[in-house]
Amino acid sequence: MPIDLRSDTVTTPTSELRQAMLTALVGDDVYGEDPTVNALQDKVAAMLGFEAALFVPSGVMANQVAIAAHVQRGEEVICAAGAHIYEYELGMMAAFSGAAPRFVPAPLGVPDAADVRRAIGRSVHQSPTGLIALENTHNKAGGCVVPLEVIAAIREVSLTEGIPLHLDGARVWNAVAALGVQPLEITKHFDSAAVCLSKGLGAPVGSVVAGSAAFIKQCHRYRKMMGGGMRQAGILAAAGLHVLEHGLQRLPADHKRARRLADGLVAAGWQVNLAAVQTNMVYITVPDAAATVTAWAARGVRAGVMGATSVRLVTHFQISDADIDTALELIGSAIPEAVLA
């Protein structure tokens, strides 16, 4: 079997997780009658310090129902350069909410509060700012963590300017592990948060958006508009409850393996920005990403193409120390571009 490092979404359910799904109590969630979905929503809301939460099929839907609930048509969403809500969500903020992104620089995925303040639309000739969004961890920056002091400074901007602040926390659990804090220490600064259950934690599907009760009522409407109303979804929610109970403590091991993988790649001659290896992702700069990934796949290591010259490797709980050793052996030393061509 190949060593699959394309993403932390490629994990498969453990026998314990399957058993939790098999025995889940269910009802019709569109009527709000699925007890397991309700339990998951209550648990996530409590963990993150919000009044309410809503279970949705995907991280994209979680972010996009939140944007729709926050903004008016024609408004802008301030986000860090490379933000997932723009790069990988297929223009949905424009197509569904009529909103446009406004980017601010974000070295290693970390924007500066002063840049956020300067990006706010104030003139009659500009689109008004309807939302500020932070991504933590920042996927395209390599899984980098936004420090608590930066979050607090941007929260101060959002409060003084009267603009809501949303967290794209698809991998906030990794940020929690890296910072050594409780989730509430991050999410207390936000008006809403979207968190994923199927990435580092290992559920087969699902995300949760959290906020005030009134906000979640609006999100529920937009979930329905997007086709996200689910029926006996407790089977899936049970997986979410299980990974919240058992998955968080595994994340530091993923981070250690990613660092060991990165160090090994650098020692072998590959170009890795070690400063960006803060959680479970390793990004490698190569002459030709597609050719590199094809060459590695032939050797038994699966990786992701993240741009013309960028390859991504992601550790997860089904990658062992032995897998890291084997992957480094199979990848070998840096291959000249001529060999890859």
Confidence of residue 1 (pLDDT cuts 50, 70, 90): confident
Q: What are phi and psi of 141, to 5 degrees?
A: -80, 0
pTM higher than the cut 0.85? yes
**Residue-wise pLDDT tens digits, 286-334:** 999 999 999 999 999 999 999 999 999 999 999 999 999 999 999 988 7
Give the per-residue pLDDT at 79. 97
CA 315/CA 259 separation, integer angstroms: 10
Last residue in a domain, options 200, 231, 246: 246
Residue percentage of the chain with pLDDT more than 70: 98
- Please state whether beta strands 310-314 and 304-307 pair in parallel, antiparallel, or not at all (unpaired): antiparallel
- Please report which helix (H) or strand (E) contains residue 51, including its range: none
- In a domain, residue 187? The reply is yes
Mind giving me the DSSP string for 67-132? HHHH--TT-EEEEETT-HHHHTTTTHHHHTT--EEEEE--GGG---HHHHHHHS--STTSPPEEEE
Q: Are residues 222 and 293 in the same domain?
A: no
Give the per-residue pLDDT at 335. 63
Q: Are residues 122 and 156 in the same domain?
A: yes
Give me the domain span that covers residue 116.
Answer: 15-246
Q: Are residues 128 and 101 in the same domain?
A: yes
Residue percentage of the chain with pLDDT more than 90: 94
